[in-house]
Chains A and B, each alone.
Chain A
């Protein structure tokens, strides 16, 4: 099944306006691993006939890493340019699979004049399942498996979203196991605050190794995340322990797309 990915420009040319703008984000657009998450989400959106579009080449970095790194200039330049584009298309609702984009668009754009109803993809998927628009067909691939959920800081502590991703995992035919540090106490993967783009400062351990160790202690077969950066960090962590053959790192959207046989 080929993906249907309309752009805002195409929609506008046809005189249409989608319900949601899908904000793909830089990871989701360019990172090979994260692209798979993007596609899994599009499959779900296509299957459930959600009216959406992407900005495509008109999308640009939200400015999140610049702001966390302390460069407010770069952040605000990006934000204002993005707001011009978003307002040009009269965007009302935004869904995104990146908690960093989610946080920035939701919490930091309003003060610069960009007011949108922003949700994380796990929240939208939960809504679609609750509305009966998406049914999970058995989800046989997860039978008897243990899944642990790693809370992305910018989804959890930063925005108090803890339940949506867990509710989705619980819909699978699998067991949700929690790590010692979870929800409000969740441990960072090590990528936030622009750390994704630099080497860690001097220490005695990598943060993603510390976190992966904890995830492996649950003896989970799958480490689920809801953030492309966390995904990269946890995948690297699993490789560090040479467990890539027995432990998968997957986004919640991928789990659901898989269970719905999309």
Chain B
């Protein structure tokens, strides 16, 4: 019976997750194409260092260490999860124990120690969010669901760890009762400290307790897995592809707009016919810049799903620090929320459906965009190599080139560049005057 329930749970859990992953993938692929297939070696290296090694987290050592504890426990626990899967499907109990012997005890003990570290980290994180009120977790864009999301994940982690120790501790106590002095302990480091709490309980109760822990744990695992695609916590998966597909160019290099290059070349070519019809089969001209999520690249969209809303970007943003409306984290959250909306609309009403809304205007305002100094602090800070700046620039491009919405002082600057080759109103003939002044 247990095996059947487990098999159904497993199939449903994995199936629903796969269905959601497909949805996320198809949303991300709504973005424009960008080539990130080059330089594979460098990409693997970046992924290993930044995602696997969490290199950039360590710019802030205390949260980095706590985060690393949870990360390490999570990764190593996957080994125990394999056994749980095999046990669940086969109806065995701790199937690897007899064959692995001492190594098994070592492995489970290792997982237990990491789990305690993770538990400490989780409680600290809850305190940082709710008691210490670390500013970056309490900004405007975090109100409502994002704050709740963060707390739910931490709460689920506590339940997971509690289940593991209930399971191991009760099992340890039961084993001791059964085997007596001939083989008194499993000897798992932490649960042998817990098991005395269960002494005096009947074998039957211990068994029930162990099952509660076991089932509780595996149900939480499936719940957690399926919560991911709805949550900022999806970063635990997407951090890897996102760092692999990082921008490897210098941060100062903004993308070149080829569509503009073609037009400028035409303008500068004296032999070009300005009234010539576009060649047969030429692709529909693209919108300049980005108005909505579908004008962004798939990497921008992958970035948005990868964002775990830690707010390091915003806490280092000069505009945000000085009270401006711009928050790079909000740019990422808005992009993701709008993408989910656009994707759902397309699935519900067909690919051509237009809800009359857009990322620019309905989510992100002009005031936010014009506050950016393009200093790259947000890009530098992001522990998973998200690039909010490229979204900001693409939205600006749309404003300026499609709608001519430019702050008036900048119109002057642009006119000056076009007329006299400098952002200020100086005559180009005076450019070398400095050489003859004292």
Contact = CB atoms under 8 A, between A and B. Distances in A.
Contacts of A69: 396, 400, 406, 410, 413-414
Interface in B403-438: 406-407, 409-410, 412-414, 417-418, 421-424, 426, 428-435, 437
Interface stretch (B41-49, B160-168, B373-381): B373-381
A195 B373 contact: yes
A35 interface: yes
Contact of B370 (A78, A184, A201): A201
Interface in A154-185: 154, 157-160, 184-185
Interface stretch (A88-96, A103-111, A133-141, A241-249): A103-111
A87 interface: no
Interface stretch (B135-143, B319-327, B337-345, B346-354): B319-327
Contacts of A192: 373-375
Interface stretch (A13-21, A124-132, A205-213): A205-213
Contacts of A159: 250-252
Nearest to A29: B431
Given A35-B437, A65-B413, A74-B414, A5 B432 contact: yes
B434 A29 contact: yes
Contacts of A59: 421, 431
Interface of A: 3, 5, 7, 24, 26, 28-30, 35, 38-39, 42, 54, 56-57, 59-61, 63, 65-74, 76-78, 80-81, 103, 106-108, 111-112, 153-154, 157-160, 184-185, 187-188, 190-207, 209-211
Given A72-B260, A153-B373, A211-B318, 15 more contacts: A24-B431, A26-B423, A60-B428, A66-B417, A68-B393, A70-B398, A76-B260, A80-B265, A153-B377, A157-B379, A159-B251, A188-B318, A192-B374, A201-B371, A203-B319
26 contacts: A5-B432, A29-B431, A30-B422, A30-B424, A30-B426, A60-B422, A65-B417, A68-B393, A69-B414, A70-B397, A71-B406, A72-B288, A157-B252, A157-B377, A157-B379, A158-B251, A185-B377, A187-B316, A188-B377, A191-B373, A193-B374, A197-B412, A198-B410, A201-B325, A202-B324, A204-B322
